[in-house]
Amino acid sequence: MDYKTRIDTMDFRNRYGYNVTEPINLISLLHRLDILAIFKPLSEDFSGISIKIDNNRFMMVNCDHSLGRQNFTIAHELYHLYFDKSFEPHKCHTGLFPKNKPGERIADNFAAQLLLPQEGLLQLIPEGEMEKDKIQLATILKLEQTYGSSRSALLNQLEKMGLTTKGFDEKYQKSVKTIARQHGYSIDLYEPTTEKAILGTFGSLATKLFEKDQISESHYLELMMSIGIDVNEISTDDEH
């Protein structure tokens, strides 16, 4: 991770009262930041999208993804909303760290450090497991449950910290839910969630964005359909 991204995550945590080790309840943070958010089933390769206009911020997150993956997407979109100087609304497929898309790679790095701060992970890893590929499954479960992370995001972060290798990561990507159950954990973190909306002036914001040419007509129609409003039907009704 580059130095600037690391500083940005530390500044963001500090700005909203989080130290460099504690987990962040991202749903609570969305409320606190007055970010309009909707959680909606989307296609597999559509993790989320964020939009801002003036002081209004919005994001949509794919609730068909696991809760842990949704948390990563929220953190990724927070980068776009607060730090991306060349921001334009776009469909995000998070967690890929793409080398050919610098903005998306930086957003993924920001999300990884915001969700899984290295300082916090190191505090929870026993000293005897600090060598490469020595982390035990019980510790992995504790880390991801503590920080609300998907298994893949956690293993990616541990690999960046020099604590695991790709072979180790592949081994522990299997039977995640079954093993979590066996260790007495809830599997909610690894499951999709239901549709929900946070802070409701979603429709008016989408309309403002469209009227100011900040999103395309197709984007606008998609956003409105996501909350069950068919703009074409409204237009037809107005004609009668």
Q: Where in the chain are the domains?
A: 1-200, 202-235
Sequential DSSP letters for 180-222: HHHTT--SGGGS----EEESSTHHHHHHHHHHTTSS-HHHHHH
pLDDT for residue 235: 46
pLDDT for residue 230: 72
pLDDT tens for the chain, 240 residues long, are 677 888 899 999 999 999 999 999 999 999 899 888 889 899 999 999 998 877 778 899 999 999 999 999 999 999 999 999 888 888 899 999 999 999 999 999 999 999 999 999 999 999 999 999 999 999 999 999 999 999 999 999 999 999 999 999 999 999 999 999 999 999 999 999 988 766 555 666 777 777 888 778 887 787 777 656 676 764 444 444
pLDDT for residue 65: 97
The residues, ordered by sequence, that sit 6+ positions from 207 with a Cβ below 8 Å of its Cβ are 220
Crossing angle for the helix pair 231-239 and 217-226, to the nearest 10 degrees: 90
pTM of the model: 0.84
- The distance between the two most distant Cα atoms of the chain, rounded to a whole number of Å, is 74
pLDDT for residue 237: 46
Phi, psi (deg, nearest 5) at residue 111: -60, -45
DSSP-based three-state secondary structure for 147: helix
